[in-house]
Chain A
Amino acid sequence: MTLQAVVIGTSAGGVQALSQVLPRLPADFPAPVLVVVHVPPKQSNSLVDLFAAKCRLPVKEAEDKEPLAPGTIYFAPPDYHLLVEACGTIALSSDEPVNHSRPAIDVLFESAADAFGPGLAGIVMTGANSDGAQGLRAVYAADGQAIVQIPATAEVATMPEAALTACPDARTMALERIVPALEAMIA
């Protein structure tokens, strides 16, 4: 099955790591890319501006009820969970934090695994807690592609290590290999 959507989760060190990945996505990349970065709740979403300047794809903050567009990078707004509905629209929620985080990576990954199944690629990168581990397992269980940054190459290895513990069959790769791997999933 061809790639239908990409979800990425990261925390400490995430901005640096994403800078190694998102700008490499080609202008004709066909799938939406949804990103959760743990940020403090009161912070305004400067990530959008930061990456809009670096990326060839359009970058925006995810809006509730918005239909996912191909080749667009969506960031979760601070203090809201980001989910995907089965019909391919974005949903936000202010449910309680999961793994002490809102947005939480698990919440995005589990809902996206439901919506896209084998058409989904989930990527867990550097971070200082275990959010994303259960979510990556859900991606894998739904026959999606589970990818983890090689922990030794991560600024903080806790998050990729936890993801590998929960999902031992995930593929590990260095950051610069991620975009070529995604392109190979496009039929």
Chain B
Amino acid sequence: MSESIEDIEIQLLLDAVYRHYHYDFRHYARASIKRRLLQARSQWGYDSISDIQSAVLHDESILPKLLNFLTVQVSEMFRDPSYFRALREKVVPHLRTYPSLKVWVAGCSQGEELYSLAVLFAEEGLFERTIFYATDINPAALRAAQAGIYPLDRIQLFTENHRLSGGHSSLSDHYTADYDRAVFSKSLRERTVFSDHSLVTDAAFGEMHLISCRNVLIYFDRELQDRVVGLFGESLVRGGFLGIGSKESLRFSEHADMFAEFVREERIYRRSSQ
């Protein structure tokens, strides 16, 4: 099929956002981007994607709203409990051998994965020796992650996931309920550096022992995935661990040889030593 007008408009919008604001969505998987942009268009009452382009170029206050449409992920704490169980049972014993640890939650969105890891590290007695880096390109998401507040009606799911992940504290030890919100304990984030970092345009992050980046790579096209997998390889110490989403794979990446499968079914990889 020839390129539709809508597809041309989307390309132009992404070019414009990159050229003016340096947010680069040009190599995001296009079908999802298109869905989100069409949602934004109808929610904002615009007639066309070109109208969004005009608005975002001429009015800076539109950009954060657009970023929310293009990036924000609602996740769960301990999403896929078996992943966290594998971290606990198979990765933690290796991490224990290091006197100090660095953990990077790449694309942390609103922080569900970060708090899951912080709780897990606290339970396993590794918390005090760990620095967590939580990065995202969306400043609003980073602020939400830093706040650590989730609707109380999601806590039942988080609690069940936590239990299934092999958690041996009570999740309720880590938050206080405040009306309809659960506010996670400040102590869980006192060892976290929240930082604006783009996997698309920024450099490696340095000497990590564990990188957890789940359901981020599926939003990138293959070229960008390759870049990011290489970035993770450069950011890990030899023998460091990389965990990705349960439907993601390094198989198609040209940097796949930087990694060995560690827990195959949970998509946990280990940085090889060469």
Question: A residues bordering B, Cβ < 8 Å?
Answer: 63-65, 77, 80, 83-86, 91-96, 107, 110-111, 114-117
Contact = CB atoms under 8 A, between A and B. Distances in A.
Interface in B186-210: none
Interface string B157-171: 000000000000000
Contact of A95 (B1, B35, B222): B35
24 contacts: A64-B218, A64-B248, A65-B222, A77-B247, A80-B247, A85-B30, A85-B31, A86-B1, A86-B7, A86-B30, A86-B31, A91-B29, A91-B31, A91-B32, A93-B29, A93-B218, A94-B218, A94-B245, A95-B32, A95-B73, A110-B35, A111-B31, A114-B31, A115-B31
A110 B222 CA distance: 22
Contacts of B36: 95
A48 B204 CA distance: 39
A117 B30 CA distance: 17
A63 B35 contact: no
B116 to A, nearest CB: 15
B218 A84 contact: no
A13 B178 CA distance: 42
B198 to A, nearest CB: 20
Tell me which of A93, A94, A110, A117 has the highest count of chain B C-beta atoms within 10 A of its own C-beta.
A94
Contacts of B73: 94-95
Instruction: Give 10 nearest A-B pairs by CB, closest first.
Output: A83-B31, A94-B215, A111-B31, A93-B32, A91-B29, A117-B1, A64-B218, A91-B31, A85-B31, A92-B218
B27 interface: no
Nearest to B219: A93
Given A65-B225, A86-B7, 20 more contacts: A63-B249, A64-B247, A64-B249, A83-B29, A85-B31, A86-B31, A91-B31, A92-B218, A93-B29, A94-B75, A94-B215, A95-B73, A107-B35, A110-B35, A111-B35, A114-B31, A114-B34, A115-B1, A115-B31, A117-B1
B44 interface: no
Interface in B205-244: 215, 218-219, 222, 225
Interface residues on B, range: 20 to 34
A96 B35 contact: no
A96 B154 CA distance: 14
Contacts of B245: 94
Nearest to A1: B1
Contacts of A64: 218, 247-249
A140 B75 CA distance: 34
A138 B7 CA distance: 16
B179 interface: no
A112 to B, nearest CB: 9
Interface string B247-266: 11100100000000000000
Contacts of A107: 35
A95 B75 CA distance: 9
Nearest to A94: B215
A85 B35 contact: no
A116 B34 CA distance: 16
A115 B32 CA distance: 13
B31 A65 contact: no
Contacts of A63: 247, 249
A86 to B, nearest CB: 7
Contacts of A95: 32, 35-36, 73
A111 B31 CA distance: 6
Contacts of A114: 4, 31, 34
Contact of A83 (B1, B7, B32, B252): B32
Contacts of B1: 86, 115-117
B258 to A, nearest CB: 19
Nearest to B81: A42
A15 B273 CA distance: 47
Contacts of B225: 65
